[in-house]
Amino acid sequence: MVQLITMDSDLQSGLALAAQHCIHSLEQGGKVLLCGNGGSAADAQHISAELAGRFLKDRPAIHAEALHVNSSYLTAVGNDYDFDRIYARAVEAKGKAGDVLIGLSTSGNSANIVQAIEEAKDRDMVTIALTGSGGGKLREVVDLCLCVPSTETPRIQEAHILMGHIICDIIERSLFP
């Protein structure tokens, strides 16, 4: 998987572009929001922690947040509205024009991720998807789709962490040389 990503020029240029979108937002006082389900939620949390905490060097915190970390919020919105709305409601509350939303979905078809992306686009946010399996529905609605050429969920998730690390590295080196 490492070779696949590091040798794929389209993925490499896409990762650089994703990082540049994040850098531009952060330089303008924006933030990076991330969302996913199951293992992809864990990956979203991992990537946001690398940005908000530290990746390779001590530096000021970067405003990044995984949208699923408040279980009371998730269960309230899932119960009162619908599970498909959990991330869209969070984007409605937290997102603003110029922010970045990164949605992770191995299939690219997670309804709650698609709805979050649609809400983000309504708010003039930059939307990025990390997917596999051809990109699914997300490919059609995001500004930038980084699609791992695999249908195997474990391989896709492994690639997403590597891709997240590459994005974090580019952001950190650019903002804190």
Domains of the chain, CATH where assigned: 2-175 (3.40.50.10490)
Task: For residue 33, count CB atoms less than 10 angstroms from its CB and return exposed for 0-12, middle for 13-18, buried for 19 or more.
Answer: buried
Q: What is the pTM of this model?
A: 0.96
Alpha carbon distances (Å) from 164 to 70, 76, 80, 106:
22, 29, 32, 14
Residue 17 has a pLDDT of 99
- CA 82, 119, 116, 46 torsion-angle sign: negative
Residue 109 has a pLDDT of 98
| Spatial separation of the C-alpha atoms in residues 167 and 114, rounded to whole Å | 22
Per-residue pLDDT tens digits for 73-108:
999 999 999 999 999 999 999 999 999 999 999 999
* Residues of the chain above pLDDT 70, percent: 99
Helix (H, G, I), strand (E, B), or coil: what is residue 80?
Answer: helix
Q: Is the pLDDT of residue 6 over 90?
A: no
